[in-house]
Structure 1
Amino acid sequence: MQYFESIVVGQTMRAGAYEVNCADALDFASKYDPQPFHLSDEGTVGTPFERLSISGWQTCAIAMRLYVDHVLSLVDSKGGLGVDKLRWPRPVYPGDVLTLEYVALTKRESRSRPGLGLVEVSLRLFNQDDQLVMDMTTTGMIGCDPKR
């Protein structure tokens, strides 16, 4: 288990290879984002999408899965404070393989919650062609080393 003190600003990591599944995309869209272009190829007519694209919110969920598996599971994560920036510069399509890039941008100890550190991170997802498909900046709470 790593604590706030071990996080290095500027630290960068790439992780994961998550293949987007069409059945999962349709299931997610039908439950949470039932816009026509997330439900069928025919629904993309008159849109900028080439074919059925997955919801940006599902893209965020995939990023979160990769972030938990490859970063948060290794540190004393105490939750998140919110998202400061979120962009989807390119669509994600079923069959795409996504990779997460994590960068620790800033860190500071919490003034209101002793024993917690705040870490601002950049989370970016790239497809198999190394094209940016999601760009997010978020702040999380990481526990400080109790032995210090």
Structure 2
Amino acid sequence: MPKLFFEDFEPGDVATYGAYPVTKEAIIAFAKEFDPQPFHLDEELAKHSLLKGLAASGWHTAAMLMRMNCDHFVADMASLGSPGVIELNWLKPVRPGDILSGRSTIRERRVSQSRPETGLVRFFFEVLNQSGEIVMNQDCFIMVGRRGMEPPPPRIVKPIKFEPFTEVQWPMTPLWFEDMPDKGGTTLGTYTFDTENMIRFATSFDPQPFHLSEEAAKKSPFGQLAASGWHTAAAWMRTHLANHRKIVAERKAAGIDVAPTAPSPGFKDLKWLKPVFAGDVVTYSSRITGKRVTSHPGWGLVAQQSAGVNQHGEQVFEFQGVVFWPTKP
């Protein structure tokens, strides 16, 4: 039974928690599955990257924060999931040997107008390393049940039909910054969610009952076993890089120079629009929304909108991201 309800979270409350050890093996294991870029996989190659050494995937850092949150308070709260992330910033690399902790500040709370048995609590999370440096921050709402009220019934989510990106198709990567178009969209690929990979991810990073147990999920607002939102996000990264590897191989075979990949400083407006269930096949797409030069010599920034759509054509996921992009040598 939950111990913490909407009424227990007061605006202004601050909590510090966690001592999460980051290992080289864990960094590489996560990267191999979801974010296989050289600076997450190979110590020597990482020295020559923008990160100047082996570092955890940003999606891995977000997942590690989720695990610390679960261990500290989410496991004891009447959690109903999250609608998304307002903004997330990756501020410093997370290295092997780092010990991470979390700090939460409650910014506001309100009762849902459409579902009065549900409260919305806005958290500002910070992830700190052992030196007290903030390596990531995240601004988001969590939906929480109210004390003394019956849990909400399984949600009936109105399907959002996805309108495919209509711009000219573009190869996404590995063009140099100067060659990148100002706009254009592409389909990245698909990812199949199944009971095994959903439970495996949730066990490591988001062990809430509706991600771990079919029986418990039936009693939740999801109605059946649902994937962690961070699993849905990490799967986008996996398809993005699979698409990248394919294009790199094609360009190298044709004798065309390719630009290296680079990290992202963060994203905003991430939305989990519809639950992702076992058996769902999600197709991910991205499109450019703009680009600009930066104060970092040799690097520009490219903005993009990304989305995920299930096999029924219903949009389940979207976010607005930016990524560093190398200029021509």
TM-score by length of 2: 0.44
Paired residue for 2:33?
A: 31
How far apart in 1 are the matches of 2:135 and 2:5? 30
Q: 2:8 aligns with which of 6, 9, 12?
A: 6
TM-superposed CA distance for 1:4, in Å, is: 0.6
How far apart in 1 are the matches of 2:149 and 2:23? 44
The correspondence of residues 40-51 of structure 1 with structure 2, limited to 5 A, is 40-51=42-53
The correspondence of residues 113-124 of structure 1 with structure 2, limited to 5 A, is 113-124=115-126
Paired residue for 1:61?
A: 63
2:134 paired with 1:132 = yes
Distance change in 2, residues 1:96/1:109 (3 Å): same
Structure 1 unmatched ranges of 5 or more = none
Q: RMSD in angstroms over aligned alpha carbons? A: 1.3
The correspondence of residues 48-127 of structure 1 with structure 2, limited to 5 A, is 48-127=50-129
The one-letter code matched in structure 2 to 1:79 is: G
How far apart in 2 are the matches of 1:82 and 1:120? 11
Paired residue for 2:225?
A: none
How far apart in 2 are the matches of 1:64 and 1:121? 12
Pairs aligned (count): 148
The one-letter code matched in structure 1 to 2:27 is: A
Higher strand share: 1
TM-superposed CA distance for 1:74, in Å, is: 2.3
Which one scores higher on RCO, CA 8 angstroms, separation ≥ 6?
Answer: 1
TM-superposed CA distance for 1:147, in Å, is: 5.6
Preserved contact between residue 124 and residue 136 of structure 1 (Cα < 8 Å): yes
SS state of the match for residue 53, structure 2? coil
Paired residue for 2:203?
A: none
TM-score by length of 1: 0.95
Preserved contact between residue 56 and residue 88 of structure 1 (Cα < 8 Å): yes
How far apart in 1 are the matches of 2:142 and 2:80? 7
SS state of the match for residue 81, structure 2? strand
The Cα offsets for residues 50-100 of structure 1, whole Å up to 9 and x where unpaired, read as 311110000001000000110212221111110001001100001000000
| Greater Rg by CA | 2
